[in-house]
Structure 1
Amino acid sequence: FSVFPDLLLMQKNVMRKQRNWERRPEVKKSQRKEEKQRKKLNRQSKVNVSIKAITKERLEEARGAGLRLCVDLSMTDCLSKSGRLIPDPGLYGCNKKALQPFRVFLTELKEDSLLYKECVRMNDGFLNYLIDVTEESWFHLFPSEDVQFYVNVHYVSMLALEYVEEDKVYILGGLVDETIQKKISYTRAKELGIRTARLPIDEYMVKWPNPKNFHSKNPMFEILLTFRDTKDRTKALAAGIPPGKGYMVASAASTDIINPSEEL
Structure 2
Amino acid sequence: MVAAAANDDNGVDNDLKPDSEPAPANLSPPAEQKPLSKNAQKKQVKQQRYEAKKAEKKAQEKEHKRKEGERKHKEWEETLANATEEERLKLIESRKSLRKERMEKRSEEKEKKMERLTRAKEIGQNVVVDVDFAHLMSELEISSLVQQIMYCYAVNGRSATPCHLWLTGVKGEMSRQLDKLPGFEKWFIEKESRCYIEAMADRKESLVYLTADSETVLDELDPESIYIIGGLVDRNRFKGITMNKAQEQGIKTAKLPIGEYMKMSSSQVLTVNQVVEILVKFLETRDWKTSFFTVIPQRKRTGGDLVDSSKSEPLSEEHQDKEGDEDEKHDLLERKKLCVEVPLENGS
Same-fold call, TM cutoff 0.5 = yes
Contact 1:100 1:229 in 2 (8 A): yes
**Correspondence for 2:188:** 130
From the superposition, tell whether residues 107 and 30 of structure 1 become closer, same or farther in structure 2 (CA, over 3 Å).
same
Give the letter aligned to residue 206 of structure 2.
Answer: D
Contact 2:128 2:168 in 1 (8 A): yes
**Correspondence for 2:272:** 217
The equivalent position to 2:130 in structure 1, one of 72, 75, 89, is 72
**Residue by residue, what CA displacement relative to the aligned partner does 1:50-84 show, whole Å, maximum 9, x if unpaired?**
00111112222222332211111122322344212
Q: TM-score, normalised to structure 1's length? A: 0.74
From the superposition, tell whether residues 249 and 198 of structure 1 become closer, same or farther in structure 2 (CA, over 3 Å).
farther
* CA distance in 2: counterparts of 1:195 and 1:178, whole angstroms: 26
Cα deviation for residue 237 of structure 1 reads 1.2
Q: Which range moves more in the overlay, 194-203 or 128-137?
A: 194-203
* CA distance in 2: counterparts of 1:66 and 1:130, whole angstroms: 13
Greater gyration radius: 1
Contact 1:205 1:250 in 2 (8 A): no
Task: Give yes or no for the alignment of 1:91 onto 2:152.
Answer: yes
Give the letter aligned to residue 236 of structure 1.
Answer: S
Q: Which range moves more in the overlay, 188-197 or 47-56?
A: 188-197
What SS does the corresponding residue of 1:211 show, helix, strand or coil? coil
5 Å matches for 1:179-198? 179-198=236-255
**Residue by residue, what CA displacement relative to the aligned partner does 1:71-120 show, whole Å, maximum 9, x if unpaired?**
1112232234421232122111111111122221111112xx11111111
* CA distance in 2: counterparts of 1:173 and 1:60, whole angstroms: 25
Contact 1:58 1:101 in 2 (8 A): yes
* CA distance in 1: counterparts of 2:263 and 2:293, whole angstroms: 11
Q: Percent identity?
A: 24
What SS does the corresponding residue of 1:55 show, helix, strand or coil? helix
What SS does the corresponding residue of 1:53 show, helix, strand or coil? helix
Cα deviation for residue 213 of structure 1 reads 3.9
* CA distance in 1: counterparts of 2:291 and 2:236, whole angstroms: 26
5 Å matches for 1:149-160? 149-152=208-211, 155-160=212-217
Contact 2:129 2:230 in 1 (8 A): yes
Higher relative contact order (CA 8 A, sep 6+): 2
Give the letter aligned to residue 140 of structure 1.
Answer: E
Contact 1:74 1:108 in 2 (8 A): yes
Cα deviation for residue 140 of structure 1 reads 2.2
Q: TM-score, normalised to structure 2's length? A: 0.57
5 Å matches for 1:167-206? 167-173=224-230, 175=232, 179-206=236-263
Structure 1 gaps of 5+ residues are 1-24, 254-264
**Correspondence for 1:230:** 285
What SS does the corresponding residue of 2:156 show, helix, strand or coil? helix
**Correspondence for 1:6:** none
Contact 1:204 1:250 in 2 (8 A): no
